[in-house]
Amino acid sequence: MAGFEETLVAAREGEAGALARLFRLIYPRFVCYVGAVTPTDAEDVAADAWLDVARGLHRFEGDEQAFRAWAFTIARRRLLDLQRSRARRRTDPVEPEDLVGAGGAGDVEEEALARLGTGWAIRLITSSLSSDQAEVVILRVIGELGVDEVAAIMGKRRGTVRVLQHRALRRLAMVLEGQGVTR
């Protein structure tokens, strides 16, 4: 398996296998990230972002972590473009009843979490948190990005991102523990 640097060099030359490796590295993340904001447009926006990445591949220099951060910057720009052009609901809200609707007799959390998939988890995150909090969590979890990278992508200060992520986790905990919700 070629290292990231070799993959990048080959991808710049248009080598299909290398491009496929980069595709697998970022495209599913794009879909999840964009889908958290606008589920119905996730595939299209992710595809556009991927093509933007391909167009700009010759300009990129860095390792895999930097590549993810750069790619998410592009995806976020695409997302903002879409949001500007459309007035659309940010998310499909999830009612608390849906989370416990299965109504298992014992451990509700276990039953709910047993049904968790990535999409469901992301929907829970986006419906429970403010948009900034949700974006920080998703970029950190799905993009596997650090605080500094998320701050750069979102155009916020490092301390702001730290506060947002701390409040986001506490809020998620409160939602899951059923201690009331106030954003």
Partner 1 sequence: MSGWDDLPYEMPIGTIDEDTTDRLLAGRIHPDDAPPGYAGVARILQAAGSLPRSEHLSREAELVAAAREVMSLRSPPGGGAGGSPTRHRRALAGLIVTGALLGIPGLAAANALPDPAQHAVSRVLHKVGISVPGNEDHPASTGQEISNIATTTSSIGVAKGAEISTAASGGKSQAGQHGRQAGQHGRQAGQHGRQAGQHGRQAGQHGHQRNGGARSSHTPSVGGTGRADAASNGKSTHGTAKADVKSGGRSSAGSGNAATVPTAPIEHGGGKPAAHP
Rounded Cα gap, residues 33 and 163, in angstroms: 21
Rounded Cα gap, residues 169 and 164, in angstroms: 9
Q: In angstroms, what is the minimal distance from the CB of 52 to partner 1?
A: 9
Q: Which of residues 94-123 bind partner 1 (CB under 8 A)?
A: 96-97, 100, 103, 108-109, 113, 116-122
Q: How far is CA 63 from CA 22, 27, 74, in A?
A: 12, 17, 17
Q: Which of residues 25-64 bind partner 1 (CB under 8 A)?
A: 27-29, 31-32, 43, 46-47, 50-51, 53-55, 57-58
Rounded Cα gap, residues 51 and 70, in angstroms: 13
Find the binder of partner 1 among 8, 69, 154, 175 (CB under 8 A).
Answer: 175
Contact status, residue 134 vs residue 90, Cβ threshold 8 Å:
no
- Element housing 126 (H / E): helix 118-128
Q: Residues interacting with partner 1, by CB under 8 A?
A: 12, 14, 16, 19-20, 23-24, 27-29, 31-32, 43, 46-47, 50-51, 53-55, 57-58, 96-97, 100, 103, 108-109, 113, 116-122, 124-125, 137-138, 140-142, 144, 147, 162, 165-166, 169-170, 172-181
